[in-house]
Amino acid sequence: FPSDYPNNPPKVYYRSFGLRLNPNLYNSGYVCLSLLNTWGGKGTERWCPDKSTILQVLLSLQGLVLNEKPYYNEPGIKPAWSWESYNADVFALSCKTMLYLMKKPARNFEGFIAAHFRDHASVILKACVAYRNGRVRIGLFDGDAPVGSKKKKVNVSKKFKDSMNELYPELYKAFNRIGASLKNLPEKLEDDGDGKPANGIIGKLKRFWEAMTA
């Protein structure tokens, strides 16, 4: 909060770790938002000393910036050819951000960050599996999607699959180190041909047959 607050809005800095995963959140830490007077706007869109509050700032960041399709936050040249493509890149960068946060948490927030990821590790890893195997559009996982269902699959790029294959085991290890419950979750991602991690009976039989015929 600046010394003349509330005449001027609070200053917000985003810990990006050098990654750009939202049109409003720069890799420099700059946060672009009308309510912070860091972007254009009219009337109450910008900071009003007699009306604006820190609650409005937090709700704006949560509802306007951290939404399901940040692709549409960019008013100029779009950062990708579609929101689905952008979400794929963003999710991979989000996974990297999680790893950085757990490795180097903000001072005085170490316990809070560890507790957050202990509580949400299972859902995050399930989302990785669901997205990697095309069961849910990237960014729209609600925690209950049937990862192994027979529903029509979503097209997923090889680039995204490769990134999940690399990042998933790193996340698994990081979550395991902080004591998260990872019951029934695979340590790494493999595809058994039906979009399921190949640690079930089909995957085991496949690996057995490959070993026998090698």
Asked if 147 and 126 count as a contact pair (C-beta separation under 8 A), the reply is yes
Q: Is 177 left (phi over 0), alpha (psi -120 to 50) or beta?
A: alpha
Residue 210 lies in a domain: no
Domain boundary among 37, 58, 79: 79
Whole-angstrom Cα distance, residue 80 to residue 13? 25
pLDDT, position 83:
92
Residues 91 and 184 in one domain: yes
Residue 146 lies in a domain: yes
Whole-angstrom Cα distance, residue 178 to residue 119? 11
Residues 22 and 71 in one domain: yes
151 has pLDDT over 80? no
Average pLDDT for the chain: 87
Residue 208 lies in a domain: no
Residues 58 and 112 in one domain: no
**H/E segment holding residue 128:** helix 110-132
Residue 198 lies in a domain: no
Residues 183 and 126 in one domain: yes
Q: Indicate whether this model's pTM tops 0.85.
A: no
**Domain encompassing residue 143:** 83-193
Residues 92 and 105 in one domain: yes
Residues 149 and 58 in one domain: no
Residue 49 lies in a domain: yes
Q: Which long-range contacts (CB under 8 A, 24 or more apart) does 85-92 make?
A: 85/157, 87/137, 87/138, 87/139, 88/131, 88/138, 88/156, 88/157, 88/159, 88/160, 89/21, 90/21, 90/22, 90/139, 91/127, 91/131, 91/138, 91/139, 91/160, 92/160, 92/163, 92/164, 92/167
Residue 71 lies in a domain: yes
Cα torsion through 29, 33, 37, 38, rounded to 10: 40
Average pLDDT over residues 52-77: 93
Catalytically active residues are 32
CA-based nearest residue to 45, from 26, 64, 28: 64
CATH number at residue 67: 3.10.110.10
Residues 88 and 71 in one domain: no
Average pLDDT over residues 47-71: 94
Residues 110 and 168 in one domain: yes
Residues 87 and 188 in one domain: yes
> What band does 44 get if pLDDT is binned at 50, 70 and 90?
confident
